[in-house]
């Protein structure tokens, strides 16, 4: 399959496929996602600089709390660090920020994200691994109860399912650049 290069659009400062601006085209979502991926690939190959180094570096806040080993009442208390989130980025802020950095509106960014979420749920429910190149992969994992004989294992032995996210290499490398700042523990919210 030949890889189609995006066409240059006179209304955009970056490479965008012309169907992104054609609101009557039913393949708008697919074109927008394809264009975004091609744009990221082109941008990555043009400047070979990791984008995570351009973010402002604010230290990650953590607090220290003591914990005993679960199930062992006589175990000594050990102290562990725990990240203290400074704030939350709601979906609306995320889509507005993404729109400000591109040529799409906040509503377009929200529509694409909503549709990606719908497809993600469908694919995960079908047991597929969903890989988003510049983000990471999502997969379903299960917790089960063991049995002595394989033939006795049934779906009733499956206790719960969870979704596992594995970040892409760029996000993993971002973690290596973090700086840390110790803070006091926050009180628990009700």
pLDDT, tens digit (0-9, with 9 covering 90-100), for 27-64 = 455 556 666 666 655 555 444 444 444 455 689 999 99
Query: Which pLDDT score, from 0 to 100, does residue 118 have?
Result: 96
- Residue pLDDT, tens place only, 99-120: 899 898 999 999 999 999 999 9
The residue among 144, 139, 143 whose CA lies nearest residue 164 is 139
Between 23-27, 30-34, 76-80, 150-154, the lowest mean confidence (pLDDT) is in 23-27
- Please list the alpha-helical segments (H only) found in 80-149: 91-100, 106-125
Dihedral sign (CA 182, 185, 186, 190)? positive
pTM: 0.61
């Amino acid at each position: 399959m030949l890889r189609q290069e995006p066409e240059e659009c006179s209304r955009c400062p970056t490479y965008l496929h012309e169907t992104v601006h054609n609101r009557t085209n039913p393949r708008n979502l697919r074109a927008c996602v394809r264009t975004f991926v091609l744009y990221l690939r082109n941008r990555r190959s043009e400047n070979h600089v990791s984008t995570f180094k351009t973010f402002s570096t604010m230290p990650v806040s953590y607090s220290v709390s003591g914990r005993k080993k679960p199930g062992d009442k006589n175990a000594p208390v050990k102290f562990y660090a725990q990240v203290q989130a400074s704030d939350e980025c709601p979906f609306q802020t995320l889509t507005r920020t993404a729109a400000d950095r591109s040529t799409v509106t906040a509503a377009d960014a929200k529509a694409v994200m909503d549709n990606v979420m719908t497809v993600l749920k469908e694919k995960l429910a079908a047991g597929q691994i969903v890989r988003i190149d510049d983000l990471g992969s999502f997969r379903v994992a299960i917790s089960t109860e063991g049995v002595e004989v394989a033939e006795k294992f049934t779906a009733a032995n499956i206790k719960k399912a969870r979704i596992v996210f594995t970040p892409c290499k760029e996000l993993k490398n971002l973690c290596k650049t973090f700086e840390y700042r110790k803070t006091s523990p926050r009180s628990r919210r009700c």
